[in-house]
Amino acid sequence: MTGSDIRTRLSTPEGVLLGHALVSRVADRLGIRAFFIKGPASAVQGLRLPKTSRDVDVFVAPHNLEKMLQGLRERGWRERPVDPENRAFPKHSVTLHHPEWPCCIDVHFRFPGMETPAAECFDVMFANTETLDLAGQKVRVPSKALGILILALHALRSAQLPACRQELEFLAQVTRCQSHAPAVLESATATGSLAAGRPFLEALLPKDAAVEWPQPSREWHNRLVAKEPGSAHLIAIVQAPWQDKPRMLWHGAFPPQEAFLSANIYADMSLRGRFLQHRARWARFLRSAPRSSRLLCGIARTERPKASQGVRQPRFTCGKLLSPARDL
C-alpha cells in the first residue's frame, strides 16, 4: 500500500489502531520498552467510554526518547514545531505527524502530575503494565489501576470542562465497582502523583485513611490555573528571573512562527497570514485580559512568600469546581 493509499483509505480511528501496531513494532525492533496510554486501549479495558481518538500516545523511558523518535523519523514521521518559550509547562512529550497518515503520534517521556523523577517513574509504571490485543498485535498498556490514575490526572488538568467531569465520574464509578482504590492509591504514591490526584483520590478512600497529601508542584498549579488565552505565557513571565522578563515580553508580543505552527502545522506563514494570526491572537488576549489580570495577582501573591521561604509550594484545591468527594 502506498502512502497516498493510506491517506485515502484510512479513517482516523483506523489510522490510530494501525499507528499503535506501527509504534509497537518500531519499539520491539529497537529493543525499547514502551507502553500505550489513553486512546482505544483504555476503552477496551473498560476505563473510558468509547470515543474517537485522534492520536497514538506511547510512553518510553527518557533515555530512549531520541532512539524512538529516530526510529519513527526513518519511517517518514516528523516532529511538530513547538513554542520555544513555553516555560510554564515543561515538556513532557514530543508530537510527530506524517503527511500521509490521518493521526499524530505523541511520544511521552514523563506525565504531568507525576512528580517522581522521570526515569524512576517510568520503571514503576512499566512494572505495572499488561498485554492487550490491539489491531492484530499484542501491545503493552497500563494495568487498570495505573490506567485509571493516568486518565484521572489527564482529566483533572481541565476539570472545568463537562467532558472531563464526565470522565472523572466514570472513572470513580469504575474504581468503586471494581475495588481498584487501594491499587490506584499505591500507583499514585509510587509515581509521586498524590498531590495532583488528590481531588479524585480523596473521594475514593475510606474516611479514616491515613494519607499525607503533599503540596502540588508549581508546574501542576500552573497547568490548573492557566485557562485563559495567553495566561500560560504571562505566568511564565511572572515566575521568570528578572533578566529574562524583557525577552519573554517581546516574545509574547511578537511570537516566532513556531508558536503559530505548534497549534496548526498548516498555518499560513505568508506576511498576510501572520498578520491575521497576530491580530486574532491579540483579540483573544484582550478579551480575556480582565480574568488574566486577576489570575496574575493571585500568582504574584503566592510567589512572594516562596521567594522568602524557599521551596514551599502554594496549596491548590479545585474547590467548588471539583471538591474532594461531593463533585465526583
User: Tell me, what's the pLDDT at 219?
Assistant: 86
pLDDT bucket at 1, cuts 50 / 70 / 90: very low
Question: Model pTM?
Answer: 0.78
| Domains of the chain, CATH where assigned | 3-201 (3.30.460.40), 219-309 (no CATH)
Q: Report which of residues 8 and 77 the model is more confident about.
A: 77
Percent of the chain beyond pLDDT 70?
73
The partner residues of 108 in beta bridges, in order of sequence, read: 59, 93
The neighbour count for residue 239, using CB atoms within 10 Å, is 18
Positive or negative CA dihedral for 304, 305, 310, 312? negative
How confident is the prediction for the chain on average, in pLDDT?
Answer: 82
Phi and psi (nearest 5°) for 54?
-110, 0
In 31-143, which ranges are continuous DSSP H helix?
39-44, 65-73, 118-126
Q: What's the confidence (pLDDT) of residue 323?
A: 39
The distance from CA 148 to its chain's CA centroid, rounded to whole angstroms, is 15
DSSP E strand boundaries for the chain: 34-36, 55-60, 78-79, 93-97, 104-108, 129-134, 137-142
Q: What is the pLDDT of residues 266-287, one digit of tens each?
A: 676 777 877 777 777 777 767 7
Rounded to whole angstroms, the maximal C-alpha distance in the chain is 63
